[in-house]
Amino acid sequence: MPARNTIFIPDGYYHVYNRGSEKRTIFLSEKDYRNILGRIEKNALKYAVDVLVYCLVPNHFHLLLHQKPEGSIQSYLHATELGYAKFFNTKYERVGPLFQGRFKAKSIETEEYLLQLSAYIHRNPPDSGNSKKSGNVLLSYPYSSYRAYILKEPSFVKTNTILDYFSRTIPNLSYQSFVERFTPDIEALTPWIYDEE
């Protein structure tokens, strides 16, 4: 395998994503989603990684991660993907790779990109690509961290890093308003579309 271009540095923020091999569906049931979410949470503690944002859709996932000084995103993702692939292959009696190669990662260099990426990931559920999509659609999707941000549902997700940029009392300046009005720069925020791997 070619060397990874992304260098993971202590206290760095990263967009991490992967999809199913041949763009196949990798989550077929609620139990599948719950299984990988359990691994995402458990391994975050084990490998000293903060999960700021996540969204799981049928054939891929997105994570916005913060690597603590002693953390290891590579070990975290290896354990999460490998554990889930073994679970999935056993459950569905299949063999072979589940994911399309190694996970992809992009370093987050600016606060602006951090905020845009969080909105993009939260707008990622199926059928929510329309920029005019109702916030109720986003809030009703169960496999995203958006509900932890807006409804304050208990979660392992670290919401304050993002929410501290927004008003908690003025609706037009809130995170919810930002996400629901967000129009993504698709080329900048979805680099895997252009990957040939």
- Residue 150 located in a structural domain: yes
Q: Residue 193: what pLDDT? A: 46
Does the reported pTM lie above 0.85? yes
Separation of alpha carbons 165 and 174, rounded Å:
9
At 89 the pLDDT is: 97
Instruction: Show the domain range for 59.
Output: 13-191
User: How many domains would you assign to the chain?
Assistant: 1
Helix residue ranges, H only, the chain: 30-46, 73-91, 111-122, 135-140, 146-150, 160-163, 175-181, 186-189
DSSP character string of 41-58: HHHHHHTTEEEEEEEEET
Question: Residue 1: inside a domain, yes or no?
Answer: no
Reported as a single tens digit per residue, the pLDDT across 93-150 is 999 999 999 999 999 999 999 999 999 999 988 764 454 556 688 999 999 999 999 9
**What CATH code is carried by the domain that includes residue 94?**
3.30.70.1290
As a whole-number percent, the residues of the chain with pLDDT over 70 amount to 87
Is residue 186's pLDDT more than 80?
no
For all residues of the chain together, what is the average pLDDT?
89
Please report the pLDDT score of residue 196 as a whole number: 41
Q: Indicate whether 162 belongs to any domain.
A: yes
Q: What are phi and psi of 105, to 5 degrees?
A: -145, 140
Any domain includes 47? yes
Is residue 145 in a domain? yes
Q: Is residue 172 over pLDDT 70? A: yes
What pLDDT, on the 0 to 100 scale, is given for residue 126?
A: 78
In a domain, 178, yes or no: yes
Average pLDDT rounded to a whole number, residues 54-68: 96
Structural domain includes residue 8: no
Q: What is the mean pLDDT of residues 71-75?
A: 90
Instruction: Output the pLDDT for position 15.
Output: 95
Residue 30 inside a domain? The answer is: yes
